[in-house]
Amino acid sequence: TACSSKYVLSQMHPMWQGPLAVPGGDRQSPIDIVVRKSVFDSQLKPLVTDYDPDTCQQIWNNGYSFLVEYDDTTDKSTLKGGPLRDKFRLCQFHFHWGESNAWGSEHTLDRRLFPAELHLVHWNSDKYSLFEEAVMEDNGLAVIGVFLKVGKRHEGLQKLVDALPAIRHKDSVVEFNRFNPACLLPANTDDYWTYHGSLTTPPLTESVSWIVMKQHIEVSHDQLAVFRSLLFTSAEEEVQKSMVNNFRVQQPLRGRTVRSSFT
């Protein structure tokens, strides 16, 4: 789908962490969420996700992460509610992780790092007709962030983990059907933080309503190890590099308020 083909055009080198000049740059992501400084907002509603597993199309390695892409030509897999006024269409989900369990997430909670973070990427289909349009607009995108912790095996994730060896190299793609990403959401999706931010990879566009779940999900050490068996490099390259540490460092808050849906 459009939302992901462009991803490969704008993906960056994983070691890139530099202060790439960004126009304005006062609402960059990720951030450290200082829990006691977040402001409860009683107007925030529960999230409403309605994902159709039949819209799942393929899984591929874009040289930065691995993406599971959804058919976003109709409103079949949607997100609404939460801090959002409009309906948003799921286009892909992907993860960020470390080379060790000690770090890997993009957002942090009171500076606490998690071994990995899931991002479910949606665009505003009430206002725009293409991901490419929405990504350039204020709040054109809504991304749900879910922290991963190492613990018991995640049965729903295993189907995805089993597909990874087939996409070890950059630009490899395999068909992937009937996966409902709702299985990757925590039991409690009512408690979250939300703030206005950006994409965490170039072009770092400041168009994202971030929704970071308070409750994490658990995956096993072995499942995370399979993430780390992926490669940044394509099959042709002589030197193979393990796909690890594909996260951006936390960015300045610049006076933004992080709201919470819970007290």
**How far is 46 from 261, CA to CA, in rounded Å?**
8
**Region from 6-14, 146-154, 157-165, 231-239 binding ligand SBW, contact rule CB under 6 A:** 6-14
10 binds, among ligand SBW, Zn ion, none (CB under 5 to 8 A by kind): ligand SBW
Per rule CB under 6 A, is residue 6 in the interface with ligand SBW? yes
Give the SS3 label for residue 36. helix
Contacting residues toward Zn ion, per CB under 5 A: 119
E strand or H helix that includes residue 148: strand 141-150
Instruction: Return the SS3 of 111.
Output: coil
Under rule CB under 6 A, which residues in 108-137 are in contact with ligand SBW? Answer: 119, 121, 132, 135
Helix boundaries (H) for 11-124? none
**Of the two residues 161 and 206, which places its CB atom closer to ligand SBW in the complex?**
206
Is 101 near ligand SBW (CB under 6 A)?
no
Minimum CB separation of residue 250 from ligand SBW in Å reads: 13
Residue choice 58, 61, 205, 250 for contact with ligand SBW (CB under 6 A): 205
Per partner kind, with CB cut-offs from 5 to 8 A, the member of Zn ion, ligand SBW, none near residue 7 is: ligand SBW
38 binds ligand SBW (CB under 6 A): no
Which DSSP helix (H) or strand (E) runs through 159?
Answer: helix 155-163
Q: Terminal CA-to-CA distance of the chain, rounded, Å? A: 39
Phi-psi region of 237 (alpha: psi -120 to 50; beta: other; left: phi over 0): beta
Total residues in contact with ligand SBW, by rule CB under 6 A: 14
Q: Which phi and psi (to 5°) does residue 222 adopt? A: -65, -35
Task: Give the Cβ contact number of residue 18 at 10 Å.
Answer: 8
Q: Binds 259, which of Zn ion, ligand SBW, none (CB < 5 to 8 A, cut-off by type)?
A: none
DSSP 8-state code for residue 211 = E
Residue 199 lies near ligand SBW (rule: CB under 6 A): yes
Which residues of the shown chain bind ligand SBW in the complex (CB under 6 A)? 3, 6-7, 10, 119, 121, 132, 135, 143, 199-201, 203, 205
